[in-house]
Chain A
């Protein structure tokens, strides 16, 4: 910094003037380009959100959330219901193995199994969701003959959510201070007691945050559902198989390409609902995981 100070550049020790200028230009260009990159990203975020919010608010009304879809018009009640059923069902299916994997990775990370599970889980995050959807189509819809159904869609979403729940629970459980475990072990608690009465309850807010993030992912997914859940204009009749269900992301994809204003309204309203839901969860999770406001404060005395 000192050599860039003009007062110092007259000192005999200072770098030659031309070199100082080169450095100053390099600095300015560097900061400028970084700022530009940041601006591009920020502008894109604002642009996308503005598009969704402006179009969405114009399309969203009471009728939208209280009526089912009729042809390429009507409302989205069937899709809202279907999204909730599929996403919540998928999370419910993924929770037991995902939480168990999180517990195993955080608490019993000693043998060969934990690194293997962690690796598979991390790779599973990267498997394209359409591959998981096609897997669901091949096995559940075709081989098992379930047809397009809530069960097939829910299982596909469960596979999508699994690695997120695993990673989220592992992180949350690792945050529980070692001293808490030591205290419980020293009082004569067994492995299962320590996990069930100390680590999991103390990590519960973090685990739930991870589950919420997985729910946001599940709500925003389209590709894994197209050929497992199908689409339906009607409310779900409670059948787990042989009964297609609608969901919001399908409405975005399918109705925006129709040439009717009523179809566009469905797509925009669905986009606003999905994006709004996802962003609210993200902001909530951010607050919950924040160093200063979040649940971890509870454990620092």
Chain B
């Protein structure tokens, strides 16, 4: 947890293979994070590490602060009036709450998938192109089309939509919309993906599709996923962190967490005694 042990001087640049840290090295380090909505404190002294190319699942009962914590990692909470954080959140060795942090660069590097799929009411192609456009990532039309295609392929959506890229995104089914949102996030080549209950509004079959996708994406991205569904956490995550009332109760490998939790509260939650 010592911040000095985190790799220094990785600026917010797109991930090139050369300056990738070794698998298993921590890319997110959180120390003593308190978070407030106005006067109300909702996170208390969070300590957590996320390692490269792992899936970390955040579980816990409703209102325990998982989603708030997730939104701290790309400073999406900045858009809520009166919300503020105290403590240290380091991504690639940089405290993202330091003054003069480039929040826009941060969000480029840390993509986010929301609970309710939220495609823009544009066409499918324009949705994926939006991030490219605002970040100036495609020099010309062919490059843009190439990146749209590769993002849609990575999200497993290409074959379903390749013939109707100019159709409205809202004409897609719920699961397709969510995968489109994933493609949109992938298009700007983030290093980290934050997923806030990405499958909670979807049916079981579509949920399976999203879970498979998360496992595929793990080979290239670091993923932090909030989920209500313990089976989902067990199926896809490498490690799991249990939140309760704004605190991290414990973080451990998913297998150990679900078979032999070290804390009583965790066991109670996992065995369904509360929550």
Contact = CB atoms under 8 A, between A and B. Distances in A.
A177 B119 CA distance: 11
B116 A186 contact: no
Contact of B108 (A182, A187, A193, A301): A187
B81 interface: yes
B118 A177 contact: yes
Interface residues of B, number: 29
Nearest to A177: B118
B107 A186 contact: yes
A186 B134 contact: no
B120 A198 contact: yes
B107 A182 contact: no
A290 interface: no
Contact of A182 (B76, B105, B119, B177): B76
Contacts of B112: 182, 186
B36 interface: no
A298 B121 contact: yes
Contacts of A187: 107-108, 111, 130-131, 134-135, 184-185, 188
Nearest to B130: A187
Contacts of A179: 114, 116, 118
B118 A183 contact: yes
Interface string A96-112: 00000000000001100
A299 interface: yes
B266 to A, nearest CB: 30
B104 interface: yes
Nearest to A109: B81
Nearest to B109: A188
A190 B105 CA distance: 10
Nearest to B118: A179
Interface in A1-43: none
14 contacts: A110-B82, A179-B118, A180-B120, A181-B79, A185-B107, A186-B74, A186-B185, A187-B107, A187-B188, A188-B134, A202-B120, A202-B121, A298-B121, A298-B170
Interface of B: 74, 76, 79, 81-82, 104-108, 111-112, 114, 116, 118-121, 130-131, 133-135, 170, 177, 181, 184-185, 188
Given A186-B74, A186-B185, A299-B121, 19 more contacts: A179-B116, A179-B118, A180-B118, A182-B76, A183-B184, A184-B120, A185-B76, A185-B79, A186-B76, A187-B130, A187-B134, A187-B188, A188-B105, A189-B104, A189-B134, A202-B121, A298-B170, A301-B119, A301-B170
Interface of A: 109-110, 177, 179-190, 193, 197-198, 202, 298-299, 301
